[in-house]
């Protein structure tokens, strides 16, 4: 151990964070949320409803893809190098003109209100404070304008689902531009929801309760179309049960404005119906991308790419980046792990556009390993949702700080003074 005492401030976010935690402990102050991923998830589970926890934790089918994502990280072993002066380390990177204090972004995650009442706005504040970009979800619980206001000038991107209405797509993109988003992330892997057994067993889908549709209910194009739906809306059918009334009440509470007014007007129910009709376009194909390319000059990243030929096609269609993702194992059970897909995609892309990766990132070592295989940065998903559930905005800040610290220390201890020093020779594949 180095002989640095409290008289000399530690250098770098890793040592600063360790120092903060250990000195806090000496004063009887413990981290606000658990540092270990397993304990963090457990703290979040206790803070959430069974439905909310199942929605975030769950994956498709047998959840084999969730397990495989982790196993694929663990097959790559970091091989540390010595005597390379790592006293000062640079963890910052730039992706498509967006500055990242450390090489990760916060993934787009829908329905954050299931984790905490402050939802996206709490995450936006935490991300801005820590210098990590936040990718606003198409299925956010708060309109993107609210999250943007909470971030000042801090970097943010917008994630888009391509709906059945091109006018709505254009409207979302226009709003994202006005919100200061510096890239559009088009998610391709969720043209239909995967077979999610935990949610099916609970017979619970948040969107049908009016949750996670705030981008729609704050959109002028959607609201105009909603008037049509309202005219055609049939009266509630079937037996009126206590559960059905409860759902209606919950639904009305999710719609902007006074609950009773949206209950009387039928707007809340109509919004959900309209959302279900609008949400996705399974017919989407490569030719459709031209529409988006013409609508915005912002860089466009395609999220959900797992095959090298699709990565090449993305570049040929004028896309600016790739996110290798299997949606955290939520869409195709038995899907290839992202760390298994990454090397061939990096090879096919050959440096022409940045390649990001998510699904299973849990530690600084994971960030390091993905970068060693050629990723420009990674996406952090469930861990920050657990931080939000367990500790609100402060919980998210701690999760970000911990990952930044863990990565900074891993970088230095592996013998790299900057991200650019990480290479294929930094890792070894076993098995």
Catalytic residue positions, numbered? 327
Q: Which residue has the closest beta carbon to ligand FMN?
A: 381
Q: How far is CA 283 from the centre of its chain?
A: 25
Q: How far is CA 397 from the centre of its chain?
A: 15
**What percent of the chain is helix, strand and coil (3-state, nearest 5)?**
50, 10, 40
Q: Which is nearer to ligand FMN, 121 or 252 (CB)?
A: 121
Q: Which is nearer to ligand FMN, 34 or 108 (CB)?
A: 108
> Residue 370 and residue 76: Cα distance in Å, rounded?
9
Q: Which is nearer to ligand FMN, 262 or 325 (CB)?
A: 325
- Paired strand residues for 78: 427
Least distance in Å: CB of 240 to ligand FMN?
31
* C-beta separation of 281 from 164 below 8 A: yes
Q: Which is nearer to ligand FMN, 255 or 279 (CB)?
A: 279
Alpha helix ranges (H) inside 2-118: 13-26, 37-47, 50-57, 64-74
Least distance in Å: CB of 188 to ligand FMN?
9
Least distance in Å: CB of 330 to ligand FMN?
6
Question: Rg for the chain (alpha carbons), in Å?
Answer: 22
Q: Which is nearer to ligand FMN, 75 or 421 (CB)?
A: 75
Q: Which is nearer to ligand FMN, 267 or 306 (CB)?
A: 306
* C-beta separation of 198 from 57 below 8 A: yes
Least distance in Å: CB of 106 to ligand FMN?
9
* C-beta separation of 92 from 100 below 8 A: yes
Least distance in Å: CB of 421 to ligand FMN?
25
Least distance in Å: CB of 112 to ligand FMN?
8
* C-beta separation of 247 from 268 below 8 A: no
Q: Residue 392, class by beta-carbon neighbours within 10 Å (0-12 exposed, 13-18 middle, 19+ buried)?
A: buried
Cβ-based neighbours of 37, under 8 Å, separated by 6 or more: 362, 363, 383, 386
Helices 364-372 and 338-349 pack at an angle, to 10 degrees, of 30
Q: Which is nearer to ligand FMN, 209 or 327 (CB)?
A: 327
Least distance in Å: CB of 399 to ligand FMN?
12
> Residue 395 and residue 387: Cα distance in Å, rounded?
4
> Residue 137 and residue 112: Cα distance in Å, rounded?
9
Catalog residues that contact ligand FMN under the rule CB under 6 A.
55-56, 107-110, 137-139, 159, 187, 303, 325, 327-328, 330, 358-361, 379, 381-382
First-to-final CA distance of the chain:
33
Closest to 58 in 3D by CA, of 306, 305, 331: 331
Residue with tokens 């239909």: 192
* C-beta separation of 292 from 345 below 8 A: no
Cβ-based neighbours of 266, under 8 Å, separated by 6 or more: 230, 233
Least distance in Å: CB of 93 to ligand FMN?
19
> Residue 322 and residue 300: Cα distance in Å, rounded?
9
Q: Which is nearer to ligand FMN, 15 or 330 (CB)?
A: 330
> Residue 120 and residue 250: Cα distance in Å, rounded?
19
Token couple for 301: 């990243």
């Amino acid at each position: 151990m180095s002989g640095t005492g409290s008289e000399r401030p530690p250098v770098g976010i890793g040592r600063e964070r360790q120092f903060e935690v250990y000195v806090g402990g000496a004063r009887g102050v413990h981290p606000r949320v658990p540092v270990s991923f397993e304990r963090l998830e457990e703290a979040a589970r206790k803070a959430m409803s069974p439905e909310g926890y199942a929605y975030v934790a769950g994956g498709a089918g047998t959840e084999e893809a969730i397990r495989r994502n982790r196993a694929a990280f663990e097959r790559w072993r970091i091989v540390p190098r010595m005597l390379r002066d790592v006293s000062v380390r640079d963890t910052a990177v730039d992706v498509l003109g967006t500055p990242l204090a450390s090489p990760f972004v916060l993934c787009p995650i829908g329905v954050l209100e299931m984790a905490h009442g402050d939802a996206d706005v709490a995450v936006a504040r935490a991300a801005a404070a820590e210098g990590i970009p936040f990718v606003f979800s198409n299925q956010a619980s708060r309109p993107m304008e609210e999250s943007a206001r909470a971030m000042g000038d801090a970097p943010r991107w917008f994630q888009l689902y391509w709906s059945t209405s091109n006018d709505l797509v254009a409207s979302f993109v226009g709003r994202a531009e006005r919100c200061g988003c510096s890239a559009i992330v088009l998610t391709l892997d969720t043209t239909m929801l995967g077979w999610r057994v935990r949610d099916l067993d609970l017979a619970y889908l948040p969107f049908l309760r009016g949750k996670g549709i705030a981008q729609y209910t704050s959109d002028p194009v959607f609201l105009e179309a909603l008037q049509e739906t309202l005219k055609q809306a049939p009266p509630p059918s079937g037996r009126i049960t206590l559960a059905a009334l409860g759902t209606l009440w919950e639904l009305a509470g999710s719609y902007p404005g006074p609950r009773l007014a949206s209950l009387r007007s039928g707007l809340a129910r109509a919004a959900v119906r309209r959302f279900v009709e609008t949400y996705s376009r399974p017919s989407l194909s490569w030719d459709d991308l031209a529409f988006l390319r013409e609508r915005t000059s912002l860089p466009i990243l395609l999220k959900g790419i797992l095959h090298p030929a699709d990565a090449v096609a993305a570049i040929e269609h004028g896309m600016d980046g790739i996110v290798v993702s299997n949606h955290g194992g939520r869409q195709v059970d038995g899907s290839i792990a992202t760390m298994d897909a990454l090397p061939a995609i990096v090879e096919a892309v050959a440096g022409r556009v940045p390649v990001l990766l998510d699904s299973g990132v849990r530690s600084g070592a994971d960030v390091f390993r993905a970068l060693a295989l050629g990723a420009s940065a990674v996406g952090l998903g469930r861990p920050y949702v657990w931080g939000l559930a367990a500790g609100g905005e402060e919980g998210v800040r701690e999760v970000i700080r911990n990952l930044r610290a863990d990565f900074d220390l891993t970088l230095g201890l592996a013998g790299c003074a900057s991200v650019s020093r990480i290479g294929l020779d930094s890792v070894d594949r076993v098995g």
